[in-house]
């Protein structure tokens, strides 16, 4: 799985971007998007094209974590969203390494592992996070990731010198997001 994570201001200014790959299931944490030469633009394009849907979801669902809100079939990309109460948007694009095979539904794995013991859940989620962007395990892993980024975002925003809409340049923040990606995704 390859990930592109971005934070947008309430007025859609990009405040932070990062690309990374899965660290689950033996992943090396490096992003391998399908169209490497254009990935940066492509990812931003896909994310921005999901903003209309996001704005609609924003006013029907009061949760901060909105789970996956959009898909972009041409790139087999999924978008998950998290809204901070102060209006910043966290968007995560995930793209599986190969097109999901049409025969594999993956639903059996998802539901059975939910009922499993803690140990087996972890195992199952590790593999399905990498494989299936819409499984409950993935939604949960993304939620954990978003929460951890949110904590660090609040720390950034609490500083009196940080003004809403300012790019987040702190290398420490970047390290924290990278670590959260490694831990949960």
Partner 1 sequence: MAAPPRHSTMLSISNGGTPQSGPNDKQTQQQAQTLPQSPGLRVPSNRKTIYDRHLNRSRNAELSRASFAYLFGEMVTYAQRRVTGIQDLEKRLNEQGYPLGLRLLDLLFYRSTSTSSSALSSSSTSSSPPNRPLRIITLLHLIHGPLWRLLFGRSADALEHSVSPDTPNEYMITDNDPLVNTYISVPREMSMLNCAAFVAGIIEGVCDGCGFETKVSAHNQPTEMWPSRTVFLVRFGDSVMEREKVLERSGVK
Partner 2 sequence: MSANKTSRIGEETRVDKVNAELVTLTYGTIVAQLCQDYDSDYQEVNKQLDKMGYNIGMRLIEDFLAKSGVGRCANFKETADMIAKVGFKIFLNVTPTVTNWASDNNQFSLIFEDNPLADFVELPDDGRAQDELWFSNILCGVLRGSLEMVQMQIEAHFVSDVLRGDETTEMRVSLVRYIEDEMPPEEE
Interacting residues with partner 1 between 71 and 100 (CB under 8 A): 83-87
Site pattern 4..43 for partner 1 (x: CB under 8 A): --x---x---x-xxxxx--------xxxxx--xx-xx---
Buried b (16+ CB within 10 A) or exposed e, 133-153: bbbebbbbbbbebbebbbebb
Interacting residues with partner 1 between 142 and 161 (CB under 8 A): 147, 150-159
Nearer to partner 1, 83 or 141 (CB): 83
- Cα–Cα distance for residue pair 20/23, rounded to 1 Å: 9
100 burial (CB, 10 Å; 0-12 / 13-18 / 19+) is: middle
Task: Tell me: does residue 170 bind partner 2 (CB under 8 A).
Answer: yes
Nearer to partner 1, 62 or 119 (CB): 62
Contact 162, 137 (CB under 8 A): no
40 binds, among partner 1, partner 2, none (CB under 5 to 8 A by kind): partner 1
185 binds, among partner 2, partner 1, none (CB under 5 to 8 A by kind): none
Nearest Cα residue to 135 out of 179, 78, 54: 78
Contact 72, 46 (CB under 8 A): yes
Q: In the set 162, 174, 178, 182, which binds partner 2 (CB under 8 A)?
A: 162
Interacting residues with partner 2 between 118 and 157 (CB under 8 A): 155-156
- Cα–Cα distance for residue pair 183/148, rounded to 1 Å: 10
Give the footprint of partner 2 on this chain (CB under 8 A): 155-156, 158-162, 169-170
């Amino acid at each position: 799985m390859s990930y592109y994570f971005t934070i947008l201001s309430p007025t859609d200014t990009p405040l932070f971007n990062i690309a990374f790959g899965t660290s689950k299931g033996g992943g090396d944490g490096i992003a391998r998007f399908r169209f490497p030469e254009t990935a940066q633009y492509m990812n931003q394009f896909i994310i921005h094209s999901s903003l209309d849907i996001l704005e609609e979801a924003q006013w029907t669902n009061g949760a901060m974590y909105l789970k996956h809100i959009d898909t972009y079939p041409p790139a087999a990309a999924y978008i998950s969203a998290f809204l901070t109460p102060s209006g910043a948007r966290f968007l995560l694009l995930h793209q599986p390494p190969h097109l999901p095979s049409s025969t594999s539904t993956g639903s059996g794995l998802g539901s059975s592992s939910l009922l499993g013991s803690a140990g087996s859940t972890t195992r199952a989620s590790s593999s399905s996070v990498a494989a299936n962007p819409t499984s409950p395990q993935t939604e949960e892993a993304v939620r954990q990731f978003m929460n951890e980024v949110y904590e660090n975002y609040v720390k950034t925003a609490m500083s009196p010198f940080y003004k809403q809409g300012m790019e987040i340049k702190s290398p420490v923040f970047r390290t924290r997001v990278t670590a959260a990606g490694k831990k949960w995704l």
